[in-house]
Amino acid sequence: MINFQQVSKTYPGGHTALEKVDFHLKTGELAFLTGHSGAGKSTLLKLISVMERPSAGNVMINGVDLNSISKTQVPFVRRDIGMIFQNHRLLARHNVFDNVALPLVIEGMHRKNITKRVHAALDKVGLLNKVKCYPETLSGGEQQRVGIARAIVNSPPILLADEPTGNLDPELSWEILKLFEDFNRHGTTVLIATHDLGLIARMKYHNLTLNKGKLLLDPLKADIS
Partner 1 sequence: MSLLFKSRMSQASNTDTSLVMTWYFIVLNIMRQGVHSLGEIWRTTTASMMTVAVLGVSLTLPTTLYLVVKNVQQVSSGFENASEISLFVKQGLPDKETKSLVKRLKLYPEISDVTYISNEVALEEFKQVSGFGQALDYLDSNPLPSVISVTPTKRHSKPETARKLLIKLESEREIDFGKLDIEWLERLNALLSLLRESVITIAFLLLTSVILIIGNTIRLSIMDKKEEIQVMKLVGATNQFIQTPFLWTGIWYGIIGGFFAYICIELMMWWLGSAISEVAGVYQAEFLLQGLSFFEFTNLIVLAVLLGLFGSYLSVKRYIKTIEPDKI
Question: What residues make contact with partner 1 under the rule CB under 8 A?
Answer: 42, 45-46, 49, 51, 61-62, 64, 69, 72-73, 75-80, 83, 85-86, 89-91, 93, 102-104, 106-110, 113, 117, 150, 154-155, 157, 162
- Closest listed residue to residue 192, CA positions, set 160, 151, 165: 160
Q: What is the CA radius of gyration of the chain?
A: 17
Amino acid at 2: I
Q: Are 48 and 2 in contact (CB under 8 A)?
A: yes
Give the nearer residue to partner 1 in terms of CB position, either 140 or 174.
140
Give the nearer residue to partner 1 in terms of CB position, either 140 or 157.
157
Give the nearer residue to partner 1 in terms of CB position, either 28 or 220.
28
204-223: buried (b, 16+ CB within 10 Å) or exposed (e) per residue?
ebbbbbbeebebeebeeeee
Min CB(110)–partner 1 separation in Å: 7
Min CB(35)–partner 1 separation in Å: 15
CA distance 25 to 221: 11
Q: Greatest CA separation found in the chain?
A: 50
Give the nearer residue to partner 1 in terms of CB position, either 51 or 224.
51
Min CB(217)–partner 1 separation in Å: 26
Min CB(171)–partner 1 separation in Å: 25
Give the nearer residue to partner 1 in terms of CB position, either 49 or 184.
49
Give the nearer residue to partner 1 in terms of CB position, either 75 or 170.
75
- Closest listed residue to residue 207, CA positions, set 184, 186, 180, 225: 225
Min CB(80)–partner 1 separation in Å: 5
Min CB(216)–partner 1 separation in Å: 22
Angle at which helices 111-124 and 96-107 cross, to 10°: 130
CA 106, 101, 123, 113 torsion-angle sign: negative
Count Cα neighbours of 222 within 13 Å in the Cβ-side half-sphere: 2
